[in-house]
Amino acid sequence: MNQNGDNNYYNHDYGPGGRNPGMNGPYYQPQPPIPPQPGPPAGGTGGKGGGHFLLGLLAGVLITAMVGCGTYVGVRLYLMVSDKSASTAASAGKDGAGSLTGEETMEKLEALEEVIAEYYYKEEDIDKEKMIDGLYSGLVNSLGDPYSVYYNEEEWQELMQSTEGIYYGIGAYLSLDPATGLARIAGVIAGTPAEKAGLRENDIIYMVDDEQIQGLELTEIVSRVKGEEGTKVHLTIYREGEADYLEIDVTRKKIESPTVEYEMYDNGVGYIKIREFDEVTTDQFTEAMAVVKGSGAKGIILDLRGNPGGSLPVVVDIARAILPKGLIVYTEDKYGEREEYSCDGRNELQIPLVVLVNGNSASASEILAGAVKDYEIGTLIGTTTFGKGIVQRVLPLTDGTALKLTVSSYFTPKGNNIHGTGIEPDIVCELDSEAYYVDGVDNQLERAKEEIDKMIK
């Protein structure tokens, strides 16, 4: 199981000292109907109250005291709350209104920890390490940005492993569907358990092992799908056109994911598919281009369908093997600072090019497709792309954890930011799903072959 969809910078260290502008090393699309949502659990809606923390804590404790006749508890926490309220003004002046680590905040955390430790009814479920991770994750989640994520040590190691093209899972690429808060299958790797189990691109994962995943971070969903080799994961799938959910069991195995596939057609056209832009992709793409060109290709079909994105430096390297001299992409941060990535044009493609895209072509895929379209060196065929025009920087921390943070917007060579809109293809061609899955006919690819034949002739 892999996840992506980010134009990532990878910084190898991070510490105090402010912004580091240097570098080492989606969102709109037509959405399927939202699966039926379960009602709230009995006894309430589960919504968050809007009252002040201290007032809520006091009210909850007083109710508990009345029910359980624990008057001492009510008095003791009332005094604690009163003391805290009295010190609020002084704390604000001392620590600054915007401080997250001020005295009042720390006292509040201590109060919460004490109440949980003393009253939570399942002692064995209290895990201090998870609580601490939850604090860090909650801080990042408060940004409301699905692409900014805190990784604990285990999650960070798994992410680094996946970018090297090897991981343990089912062989499918996942992206987060913002309309439903669920995971969407952006692509299925050929010959993997996911393909053998019948999973398809654009399937929506509704539950994993009979547990709902709506609202979880993508990293958490991926970790639930992944697991030890040989074990099974049960997926509840929503598929457009099906009357009911599909219940599918998939056996996990070690996945060595080739990110680039290629072949030569009898008419002298080369076909190259890039599944994602990982650390291994540059070398794999270089090999593919060498074979295709060495075979005397008269034209190339570049397939970016289902490609969720990946590393910004990698897609820039690949663009330099295709584009003419000039700008590939530029980024701009909140300070207005602009960083440009250019091509010297020495490897500009001199034969016809068709690029296949769809609603799951995101992020780095859109950088490449956008540049091809702006320079008019190829024809885009398929459907509107995902629409992710922002860049994340991955900041490894000194304790083995990491923070992925959205740091800038990116713009195509002509200055277009496609975030939330995507890239319109030159030729719109919807996938005939029935023909593809029943008869094995890829009508979008067939259309690409027709167009490139016209270009060659």
Q: From the candidates 363, 365, 373, 404, which is the catalytic residue?
A: 363
Pairing of strands 390-396, 7-10: parallel
CA dihedral (91, 93, 98, 100) in degrees, to 10, reads -20
Q: What angle do CA 317, 319, 320 make, to 5 degrees?
A: 65
Q: What angle do CA 247, 250, 252 make, to 5 degrees?
A: 155
Q: Which of 217, 411, 198, 430 is nearest to 305 (CA)?
A: 430
- Indicate if the alpha-carbon torsion angle 401, 104, 113, 137 is positive or negative: negative
Active site residue 374: yes
CB neighbours of 33 closer than 8 A, spacing ≥ 6? Answer: 240
DSSP string, 389-432: -EEEEEEE-TTS-EEEEEEEEEE-TTS---TTT----SEE----
Phi/psi-derived region of residue 440, left when phi > 0, alpha when psi is between -120 and 50, beta in every other case: left
Q: From the candidates 133, 303, 317, 374, which is the catalytic residue?
A: 374
Q: Which of 365, 349, 373, 371 is nearest to 297 (CA)?
A: 349
Q: Is 46 helix (H, G, I), strand (E, B) or coil?
A: coil
Active site residue 363: yes
Q: From the candidates 226, 373, 388, 404, which is the catalytic residue?
A: 388
Burial class from Cβ neighbours inside 10 Å (0-12, 13-18, 19+) for residue 160 reads middle
Q: Which of 354, 363, 376 is nearest to 303 (CA)?
A: 354
Active site residue 283: no
DSSP string, 273-330: EE--B-TTHHHHHHHHHHHHHHTT-SEEEEE-TT---EEHHHHHHHHTTT--SEEEEE
Residue with tokens 């910004």: 312
DSSP string, 346-372: TT---S-EEEEE-TT--THHHHHHHHH
d(CA 111, CA 116) in angstroms, rounded, equals: 9
Catalytic residue numbers, as ranges: 363, 374, 388
